[in-house]
Amino acid sequence: MVIVKYKGRLGNNLFQYAHGRIMAEEDPGLGMLMARPIPGFPKTRESVGNFRGGSDTIVDGFFQEYGLFSQHKKKIEKWFKFSQLPPQPEDKLIIHVRLDDYLTGDHKDWIVPMDFYHRLIEIDKPTSVCFVTDEPNYPALRQFDAEIVSEDTLHDFAFLASAKRLCIANSTFSWWAGWLGNAERIYYPDMKIDYFNNLWVHNENRYVRINV
């Protein structure tokens, strides 16, 4: 069996499930996939592979490397079908601001600085701006004339995926929303963080890298 050991939250779990399912589908000799279904993604309940005896293969890690998934996008899009929201206006810039554990943990330097968003707005010139964040009362956001969205995890994921213009954070959550969504332009803040730079989507022209 291919046994997926989940770590972290939604974005991490999507990488872990996808890696395990790719392994199980590409090598039937490994046996069936054993992975807890991911709430909001009903096709992760599907049975994959057949039971076989022998030793188990443990999927235990984060697998945050775009090269592991880039050739499997069509399959992954089917596995990760989710309830979508109506598309947002084309002239609206939606920005994911990841704070939460970055504020309280050891990664305060992973927070994208506010001046980056000022520069981004000058570059993109949207008619309206919306921040999607896990900290809607964060004082620094008040300097912007922007809508703030902060609801439950699946709503915010679908809202990000509904954007036509999207700025992701250094976050696997918005990385997945962008990759699975239909945005025509996706801004990528380059903070020189190795794990996130390993997720640079090099083969889609809609991605725009901007130095922080």
The residues spanned by each domain of the chain are: 2-79, 92-211
Question: Tell me, what amino acid is at 181?
Answer: G
Is the pLDDT at 104 greater than 90, yes or no? no
- In 6-55 the beta strands, taken as DSSP E runs, fall at 33-34
**pLDDT band, very low/low/confident/very high, at 49 (cuts 50, 70, 90):** confident
The share of the chain scoring above pLDDT 90, in percent, equals 86
When pLDDT is averaged across residues 85-98 and rounded to a whole number, the result is 97
Rounded distance between C-alpha atoms, residue 152 and residue 177, angstroms: 14
Cβ of 101: how many Cβ atoms within 10 Å? 12
Token match 């899009």: residue?
77
Give the pLDDT confidence score for residue 147 in this predicted structure.
Answer: 98
Range 92-211 classified under CATH 3.40.50? yes
* DSSP secondary structure letters along 19-73: HHHHHHHH-GGG--EE-PPPTT-GGGGS--S----S--EEE-S----GGGTGGGH
- Residues with Cβ within 8 Å of residue 19, at least 6 apart in sequence: 4, 59, 61, 63, 68, 69
Give the pLDDT confidence score for residue 174 in this predicted structure.
Answer: 97
When pLDDT is averaged across residues 85-110 and rounded to a whole number, the result is 90
Tokens encoding 47: 């049975």
Give the pLDDT confidence score for residue 12 in this predicted structure.
Answer: 97
When pLDDT is averaged across residues 50-55 and rounded to a whole number, the result is 81
Model pTM score? 0.95
Give the pLDDT confidence score for residue 184 in this predicted structure.
Answer: 98
Give the pLDDT confidence score for residue 194 in this predicted structure.
Answer: 80
Is the pLDDT at 195 greater than 80, yes or no? no
